[in-house]
A = this chain, B = another copy of it.
């Protein structure tokens, strides 16, 4: 099993907290330092045993770190890792959990002064934020995508793979731009659609929502600030996904306007077919 003597979690929220708990439970880390804006909350997680040290700035935390994981909102990740890299060792693994990858990876390309960077994205989100929603099993059997470039050090890939595998996840390498194009369709668009579906519901009709509406809109409960950043960072691929979705929607509109049973049935069947394929029915 791999072991990191000094781990820094930048941003101890739901995901960062879950990673800390999992590293600890599996005996993969010596000291775990957490950074964040709210020292009181960090102290609370320290007392709860989730982390060992608390910092409100990155520099002292990152000094001599062996592993740094940025779990901050996507627009902070690149600068947070740049800050950490100044105090890291040449062998330190620097990675992140951001939902978008191209902007982060290109911002860091050639800029990391010390340490080995590779981007990561664990497909294990939740509409709940805050370390109080962390759980040590979060990454088990989940997929973690890592996004090396041509200039990524092989040791970074190897360490990141060892890290996520040791936490129970399956690891897959994918170019950052391809990651963003795919996730626009499989994650960012669903968020936007869930939000739009919730938004169009009249508040006086909320007594009449059932399990279908609830499931469809669950992720709309996510943090608007975080999601605003994700959608903006991946703006063009998301826009393309919205346009594709709008095409399907206009097929629906015309099938309903013209009351075409065969066309309605085709639309429903193609949705069901992909859904069934995804869940292995």
A interface residues (Cβ-Cβ under 8 A, vs B) = 123-126, 142-143, 145, 172, 182-183, 185-187, 189-203, 205-222, 224-225, 227-228, 231-232, 235, 238-239, 241-250, 252-253, 256-257, 259, 261, 264-265, 267-272, 274-279, 281
Rank and list the top 8 A-B pairs by shortest CB-CB distance, nearest first. Answer: A195-B271, A224-B268, A123-B210, A198-B271, A220-B275, A198-B275, A199-B271, A196-B248
Residues in B whose Cβ lies below 8 Å from that of A272: 195, 198, 220-222, 224
Interchain CB contact under 8 A, A275 and B221:
yes
Asked if residues B194 and A208 are in contact (CB atoms below 8 Å), the reply is no
Q: Which one of B197, B239, B246 contacts A189 once the chains associate, using CB atoms below 8 Å?
A: B197
How many copies of this chain does one complex carry?
2
Residues of B within 8 A of A185 (CB): 200-202, 205
Our pick among B172, B235, B252, B257 for the contact of A196 (Cβ within 8 Å) is B252
Contact A203 B274, CB 8 Å, known A123-B210, A210-B186, A239-B256: yes
Contact B198 A186 (CB under 8 A): no
A216 contacts which chain B residues (CB < 8 A)? Answer: 190, 193-194, 215-216, 218-219
- B residues near A250, Cβ cutoff 8 Å: 246
Q: Which residues in B have their C-beta under 8 angstroms from that of A235?
A: 256, 259
**Is the Cβ of A267 less than 8 Å from the Cβ of B212?**
no
Contact present for A210 and B124 (CB under 8 Å): yes
CB <8 Å contact, A239 and B257: yes
Nearest CB in chain B: distance from A123 CB, A: 4
Could you tell me if A196 and B256 are in contact, using CB atoms closer than 8 angstroms?
no
Complex contact A208–B276 (CB within 8 A): no
Q: A214 contacts which chain B residues (CB < 8 A)?
A: 278-279
Q: Given the complex of chains A and B, what is the CA–CA distance between A239 and B142 in angstroms?
A: 38
**Can you list 13 residue pairs at the A/B interface with Cβ under 8 Å?**
A124-B210, A172-B207, A182-B208, A183-B208, A185-B202, A189-B200, A190-B213, A196-B271, A199-B248, A200-B247, A220-B268, A220-B272, A228-B268
